[in-house]
Amino acid sequence: MRQPIHIVMTPTRNEAWVIRAFLESTTRWADYVIICDQFSTDGTREIVKNLSPALPSKEGEIVRKYNKAIVLLIDNPSTEFNEAERQRVLVAKAREVAAGRDTLLWGLDADEILAANAFETDDWQRILHSKPGAVFWFEWAQLTHDKQHYYNPQAFYPWLFHDDGVEPHGNYVRQMHSMRIPYPLDEHDMSYVKDFRVLHLGPAPLNRVRAKERFYMFVDWQVNHRPPYSLGRSYIGSNAYPKELTDLPEEWIYRKEKDGWELWEHVELDEEHCWMDDYIYERLDKYPMRTLAKLQIWAPEFLAYYHIRDPRPWYVRLVHRYIEVTQPHKQHLLVRAIDKFLRKWVKR
């Protein structure tokens, strides 16, 4: 029986810190990797271009062969953050590349790779022998800065769809936190992968983690018009390491002697500045500062980098500090009661 082809769909924007690791890992098992880049300026595009000599391509595409895979670099022309539109572009290109062949559509970000033991598991065989319409859900292993531990967010995410060719299924419709794959909303063929993890490198660089919290708060407010107070509760400390960490299993990590490449040699963990802060800064003058001051984005490193003064009045700073301190206890009855009062007092 002929196995389906693997097409990985990956959005990028300034992912030079991790794109080498992503490509080294993914191109060893995927047939195609489609990278949809949104105006990267940090060398991400150049890394892809330098993988190997150019292959024939259509206008607006860059095509390379690396390890097993064909790597396609296409453009995301939007200047704004819109995950739903981005995923539509990726799915359309993937189906064009598939040209009707039996296809597994993977939605992986640039900071996500399959654990090194994935390909020896029963779940991998289930994936290879699945039927069109099957949806596979995966668990993250959140890797930490010390390269020796991980933590588990205890949630499964749908990142693989055995494509049935139907469009639209209507599930990647939000501008942020949208679905990555076009699986049917009423689909019942769901499988949960437990034999291996998706290694999430995103929590490892600490500066990027803090910038990402600010970025998501700003975009969620900008796009979804959520109250600033609620955003602080949703995002502050959302990527903070829990007290209990687990030792990272050796069999999950790519090593030169067994896999042909070394994971941590391809990851930059000490990035000093992140593009996500630039995204916020470039849009500050579009909104009243009185409103922006209520967003919990005014960290010391953000203010210092752009040489701006903290615009928050004393009582807003006090509320923000309260959110930070009580975040580990936000489900406590007293904290919830105070929150209810503050939601009325600190209006949007």
- Residue 248 Cα to chain centre, angstroms: 21
Whether residues 182 and 234 fall in one domain = no
Tokens of 341: 């009062």
DSSP character at residue 258: H
Whether residues 61 and 145 fall in one domain = yes
The per-residue pLDDT for range 212-264, each reduced to its tens digit, is: 999 999 999 998 888 888 898 889 887 778 888 999 999 999 999 999 999 99
On whether the CB atoms of residues 162 and 137 are closer than 8 A, the answer is: no
By three-state DSSP, how is residue 141 classified?
strand
Whether residues 272 and 194 fall in one domain = no
Task: Say which residue the tokens 């531990």 belong to.
Answer: 149
Domain of 300 in residue numbering reads as: 206-240+249-261+268-345
Whether residues 289 and 316 fall in one domain = yes
Sequence letter at residue 105: L
Sign, CA torsion 182/188/191/192? positive
26-40, 166-180, 275-289, 290-304: lowest mean pLDDT where? 166-180
On whether the CB atoms of residues 322 and 314 are closer than 8 A, the answer is: no
DSSP character at residue 266: G
Whether residues 303 and 169 fall in one domain = no
Q: Please state the rounded mean pLDDT for residues 124-153.
A: 95
User: In the prediction, which pLDDT does 287 show?
Assistant: 95
pLDDT(85) > 90: no
On whether the CB atoms of residues 142 and 224 are closer than 8 A, the answer is: no
Q: Taking the CB of residue 294, how many other CB atoms lie within 10 A of it? A: 22
Q: Kindly give the interhelix angle for 228-235 and 333-345, rounded to the nearest 10 degrees.
A: 150
pLDDT(154) > 60: yes
Whether residues 220 and 329 fall in one domain = yes
Query: Between the CA of residue 33 and those of 11, 56, 106, 235, what are the distances in Å?
Result: 11, 16, 9, 31
Q: What CATH number corresponds to the domain at position 46?
A: 3.90.550
By three-state DSSP, how is residue 42 classified?
coil
User: In the prediction, which pLDDT does 174 show?
Assistant: 67
- Torsion angles phi and psi, residue 110, rounded to 5: -70, -20
By three-state DSSP, how is residue 315 classified?
helix
User: In the prediction, which pLDDT does 345 show?
Assistant: 66
Please name every residue paired with 157 in a beta bridge, in sequence order, or none if there are none: 138
CA distance 96 to 107: 16
pTM of the model: 0.92
Sequence letter at residue 77: P
User: In the prediction, which pLDDT does 347 show?
Assistant: 57
The per-residue pLDDT for range 159-187, each reduced to its tens digit, is: 999 999 887 676 766 667 778 998 887 76
Helices (H) and strands (E) in the chain, counts: 12, 12
By three-state DSSP, how is residue 67 classified?
coil
Percent of residues in the chain assigned helix, strand, coil, to nearest 5: 35, 20, 45
Whether residues 122 and 211 fall in one domain = no
Whether residues 218 and 339 fall in one domain = yes
Please give the tally of structural domains in the chain: 2
Sign, CA torsion 247/252/254/258? positive
On whether the CB atoms of residues 140 and 80 are closer than 8 A, the answer is: no
Whether residues 158 and 47 fall in one domain = yes
Whether residues 178 and 284 fall in one domain = no
Whether residues 29 and 168 fall in one domain = yes
CA distance 233 to 296: 10
Whether residues 40 and 101 fall in one domain = yes
